[in-house]
Chains A and B, each alone.
Chain A
Amino acid sequence: MTLTTRKPAGEPPAAREQEASGQPVLVCRDLRKRYGERTAVDGVGFEIAAGETYGLLGPNGAGKTTSISMICGLLRRDGGEVIVAGRPVDIGATDAKAAIGYVPQDLAIYPDLTARENLRFFGRLQRLRGKELDRRVDEVLAVIDLADRAGDRTDGFSGGMKRRLNIGIGLLHHPRLLVLDEPTVGVDPQSRNAILSSVAELEKEGMAILYTTHYMEEAERLCDRIGIIDEGKIRAEGTRRELIALVGQKDRVELAAGGATGPATAALQALEGVEEATASDGRIELVVMEARHMLPRILETAAAAGAVIRSVEVVEPDLEAVFLHLTGKALRD
């Protein structure tokens, strides 16, 4: 499945102006939500530009779904502001909602309707009518690879097919902002890969994408920028590299070596960019900046010093480590 959309010819002038001016598609500031004594969301704020994928990374219960429920106008907020395509979002803000494509975490389709009936129903709610509705339904059926099952009730679909339909409904009206709430939870690896590829395609087409996940790998693979959220607060935000730099973590290179490991370690320690080099039990461990760029020089230097390199392992710090550093707990706790 590769989901691609074609922008509607009749896009509202306000939206075009807003995009041309370089303003973000989504602006949310200081979102707050309390349930009794418990604070679910506490001052969340970020922006997403057109053609950008923003990941909201955090464990279950961190406040991701509550945040996007407020962003999509599904939930009353206790404080803060949401602007989508230049229009403020609230529960009754129909114009702003027309710019949002919402794909909920759980399957939100009707099992007793066919795939086409599901698409037509939600398409009509998105103000699509007549031939435009027919065309968009056919297009989406094609891109989610369900054209040959369009007339079948969805209660007979596999999990992957339902998941594709669930996403397809969110794309029907060419949203400027696509909100995907943990779209790969409970999905088999093949469908998961397909979904991730599709999201990348949609980003290339200029769609602003808000992607929530508790899978670190997905955030690293897809997202241009990532907000790490925990206990209702954004703990840090930036590109993957910025986040890693934020916590001061370096890459590690582990060499399994024989021969003159002592001289090789000393030579490597003297190499620019290597911050630390230690040898023990036939292994040389290095702490370096940008390990992948330095790797050829490291191998060359070690060989020149008389070491025989048997294997190399590069360990880059990941968002798991960032999350651990920021919150003191593992991402999947």
Chain B
Amino acid sequence: MSAALVIAVKDLRQKLRDRSVLLMAVLAPLGLAFLFSTMIPNQETFHTTYAVVDLDGGEIAKGLVDGPLAGLATAGVADLTPLTTEADARAAVDAGDVSAAIVIPAGFTEAVRTGAPAQLLVIGGPSSLSAEVARSVLAGFGSQVTAVQVAVGTALAAAGEAPDPALAGELAAAALAAPAPIVLTAGETADRTASSKTYYGASMAVLFVFFAAQFGVLSLLAERRNGTLARMLAAPIAPATILLGKVLVSMVVASISMTVIVLATTFLMGADWGDPLAVAALVLAVALAASGIATLIVGFARTEEQAGSFIAVVALTLAVFGGSFFPMSQAPEGMAALSLVTPHAWFIRGINDLAAGGGIAVVAPSLAVLVAIGMVTGGIGLLRARQVVTP
């Protein structure tokens, strides 16, 4: 073990002096994670701002503002900014201070009372999602008004009373101001999807961890070419010690790469990875899996160039099928099933599981699969790599 550490320390010293390691293991994944998370907005949350202009001031207008619109604010979907004129509202939308404006014109309540056509105004671009949401909310309120009016009219008719618009209006206003008899509440399961910042941080980290892991075992072939492997073999150490040293370097570089990305995305980009202990376990497990696969490839390659090319192809293919470039929830069913043979999918799944809270127990399935991938591929790879060390 001591000689393996000597070899590992020597290799790490060399890697520290090699800027390509820093680029591939840290800078590239960090840059891409930042790029992806910036370009692709977080799809799990919607939030907007509305200007509200109540030019009516009547009871039903107040019911609209205090009811459905206040509900949006309470749900965290929208911030409401009260303004006094329609011109102010248009100016605020044009200036981008708010995403859309809702204007309740003067006489709105009276129009509802008398059964006259009543209008509400939404100011916003035709393709504005915020304006569309506002229109939906107001349409819902309009349907409620119509339903109440119909119900009141029907009740009066059934009582045999002569149509009295004033009475019908008062009854309708009272009905609208009363609490709704049926209230829908949203029941949500715990959110098991990491934020886009966390997702892209994780997906880029697991993509590039393969390039980071290659630096250890790949140097075995470089040492053979340079003649330093023969010199190490001439020393009083077991050949397996050399292999162990190389795999250690792969593990360490891969783990450092992942750790730097986790920390950087947390503190610089606001990613939330979840329970630190569970994340650390996932990082070590995926570093083991990547080191195992890199060892397997090196075991079958003849030259370091060939091995480097194979690792790049395998890393990118696994990344595509494993969900590093798009969430597997958006992938066809067959591809989602196929992704389960990739370490990428299991790592991302583990990170998603942590988004709902919990610790190591939550990610135990991912840990088990990642460790198994690392042990199986690494075991076969080491058997093959013995032939590199002892021809």
How close is A76's CB to chain B, nearest CB, in angstroms? 6
How far, in whole Å, are A76 and B3 apart by their CA atoms in the complex?
Answer: 22
CB of B18 within 8 A of CB of A110, answer: no
CB of B227 within 8 A of CB of A107, answer: yes
Which single member of A69, A92, A125 contacts B6 (CB below 8 Å)?
A: A125
B119 within 8 Å of A (CB atoms): no
Known: A94-B238, A121-B10, A125-B6. A74 touches B227 (CB 8 A): no
Interface residues of B in 14-28 (CB under 8 A from A): 14, 17-18
B81 within 8 Å of A (CB atoms): no
How far, in whole Å, are A134 and B188 apart by their CA atoms in the complex?
Answer: 67
Known: A76-B390, A113-B13. A108 touches B227 (CB 8 A): yes
How close is B155's CB to chain A, nearest CB, in angstroms? 91
How far, in whole Å, are A75 and B228 apart by their CA atoms in the complex?
Answer: 15
Could you say which residues of chain A place their CB within 8 Å of the CB of B227?
A: 104, 106-108
B230 within 8 Å of A (CB atoms): yes
CB of A124 within 8 A of CB of B6, answer: yes
Could you say which residues of chain A place their CB within 8 Å of the CB of B230?
A: 69, 74, 102, 104, 108
How close is A184's CB to chain B, nearest CB, in angstroms? 16
B129 within 8 Å of A (CB atoms): no
How far, in whole Å, are A170 and B180 apart by their CA atoms in the complex?
Answer: 91
CB of B390 within 8 A of CB of A117, answer: no
Which single member of B7, B17, B235, B238 contacts A112 (CB below 8 Å)?
A: B17
Could you say which residues of chain A place their CB within 8 Å of the CB of B234?
A: 72-74, 97, 100, 102
How close is B58's CB to chain A, nearest CB, in angstroms? 81
Most buried by B among A100, A106, A107, A124: A124
Taken residue by residue from 208 to 238, chain B's Cβ proximity to chain A (1 for < 8 Å, 0 otherwise) reads as: 0000000000000000001110111111111
> Chain A interface secondary structure, helix, strand, loop or mixed?
loop
Could you say which residues of chain B place their CB within 8 Å of the CB of A261?
A: none
A109 within 8 Å of B (CB atoms): yes
Q: How large is the interface on B (under 10, 10 to 19, 20 to 34, 35 or more residues)?
A: 20 to 34
A260 within 8 Å of B (CB atoms): no
In the complex, what residue of chain A is closest to B5 when comparing beta carbons?
A: A124
Could you say which residues of chain A place their CB within 8 Å of the CB of B231?
A: 102, 104, 108, 122, 169
In the complex, what residue of chain B is closest to A179 when comparing beta carbons?
A: B234
How far, in whole Å, are A10 and B390 apart by their CA atoms in the complex?
Answer: 31
Interface residues of B in 221-264 (CB under 8 A from A): 226-228, 230-239
Which single member of A73, A76, A97, A117 contacts B13 (CB below 8 Å)?
A: A117
Which single member of A74, A110, A126 contacts B14 (CB below 8 Å)?
A: A110
Could you say which residues of chain A place their CB within 8 Å of the CB of B96?
A: none
CB of A110 within 8 A of CB of B236, answer: no
How close is A26's CB to chain B, nearest CB, in angstroms? 14
In the complex, what residue of chain A is closest to B10 when comparing beta carbons?
A: A121
Could you say which residues of chain A place their CB within 8 Å of the CB of B232?
A: 125
How close is B16's CB to chain A, nearest CB, in angstroms? 10
Known: A112-B17, A121-B10. A94 touches B228 (CB 8 A): no
CB of A98 within 8 A of CB of B14, answer: no
Taken residue by residue from 140 to 176, chain B's Cβ proximity to chain A (1 for < 8 Å, 0 otherwise) reads as: 0000000000000000000000000000000000000
A91 within 8 Å of B (CB atoms): yes
A127 within 8 Å of B (CB atoms): yes
Most buried by B among A91, A95, A121: A121
Could you say which residues of chain A place their CB within 8 Å of the CB of B390?
A: 76, 91
B391 within 8 Å of A (CB atoms): yes
Could you say which residues of chain B place their CB within 8 Å of the CB of A74?
A: 230, 233-234
How close is A77's CB to chain B, nearest CB, in angstroms? 11
Interface residues of A in 51-100 (CB under 8 A from B): 69, 72-76, 91-92, 94-95, 97-98, 100
Known: A74-B230, A75-B391. A92 touches B235 (CB 8 A): no
In the complex, what residue of chain A is closest to B225 when comparing beta carbons?
A: A106
Interface residues of B in 313-330 (CB under 8 A from A): none
How far, in whole Å, are A107 and B239 apart by their CA atoms in the complex?
Answer: 21
CB of A110 within 8 A of CB of B6, answer: no
Interface residues of A in 16-68 (CB under 8 A from B): none
Could you say which residues of chain A place their CB within 8 Å of the CB of B14?
A: 110, 112-113
Could you say which residues of chain B place their CB within 8 Å of the CB of A124?
A: 3, 6
Could you say which residues of chain A place their CB within 8 Å of the CB of B13?
A: 113, 117
Could you say which residues of chain B place their CB within 8 Å of the CB of A107?
A: 227
Which single member of A75, A98, A104 contacts B236 (CB below 8 Å)?
A: A98
How far, in whole Å, are A100 and B18 apart by their CA atoms in the complex?
Answer: 33
In the complex, what residue of chain A is closest to B2 when comparing beta carbons?
A: A124
How close is A213's CB to chain B, nearest CB, in angstroms? 18
How far, in whole Å, are A104 and B227 apart by their CA atoms in the complex?
Answer: 8
In the complex, what residue of chain B is closest to A175 when comparing beta carbons?
A: B234
CB of B391 within 8 A of CB of A97, answer: no
How far, in whole Å, are A124 and B10 apart by their CA atoms in the complex?
Answer: 11
How far, in whole Å, are A122 and B7 apart by their CA atoms in the complex?
Answer: 9
CB of A73 within 8 A of CB of B17, answer: no
How close is B264's CB to chain A, nearest CB, in angstroms? 27
Which single member of A72, A100, A108, A126 contacts B226 (CB below 8 Å)?
A: A108
How close is B6's CB to chain A, nearest CB, in angstroms? 5
How far, in whole Å, are A76 and B6 apart by their CA atoms in the complex?
Answer: 25
How far, in whole Å, are A127 and B391 apart by their CA atoms in the complex?
Answer: 24
Could you say which residues of chain B place their CB within 8 Å of the CB of A113?
A: 10, 13-14
CB of B228 within 8 A of CB of A125, answer: no
Known: A69-B230, A91-B390, A108-B228. A97 touches B6 (CB 8 A): no
How far, in whole Å, are A106 and B230 apart by their CA atoms in the complex?
Answer: 11
CB of A95 within 8 A of CB of B235, answer: no
How far, in whole Å, are A53 and B230 apart by their CA atoms in the complex?
Answer: 23
Could you say which residues of chain B place their CB within 8 Å of the CB of A109?
A: 228
Most buried by B among A74, A91, A106: A74
CB of B238 within 8 A of CB of A97, answer: no
In the complex, what residue of chain B is closest to A102 when comparing beta carbons?
A: B234
CB of A92 within 8 A of CB of B391, answer: no
Q: Which 6 A-B pairs have the closest CB atoms?
A: A102-B234, A108-B227, A125-B235, A94-B236, A98-B236, A108-B231
Instruction: Tell me the B residues contacting A by CB distance below 8 Å.
Output: 3, 6-7, 10, 13-14, 17-18, 226-228, 230-239, 390-391
Instruction: Tell me the A residues contacting B by CB distance below 8 Å.
Output: 69, 72-76, 91-92, 94-95, 97-98, 100, 102, 104, 106-110, 112-113, 117, 121-122, 124-127, 169
5 contacts between A and B (CB under 8 A): A94-B238, A97-B235, A108-B231, A110-B10, A126-B236
Inter-chain pairs besides A98-B236, A124-B6, A125-B3, 13 sampled, C-beta below 8 Å: A72-B233, A74-B234, A94-B238, A104-B227, A107-B227, A108-B227, A108-B231, A110-B14, A110-B226, A112-B18, A125-B6, A125-B7, A125-B236
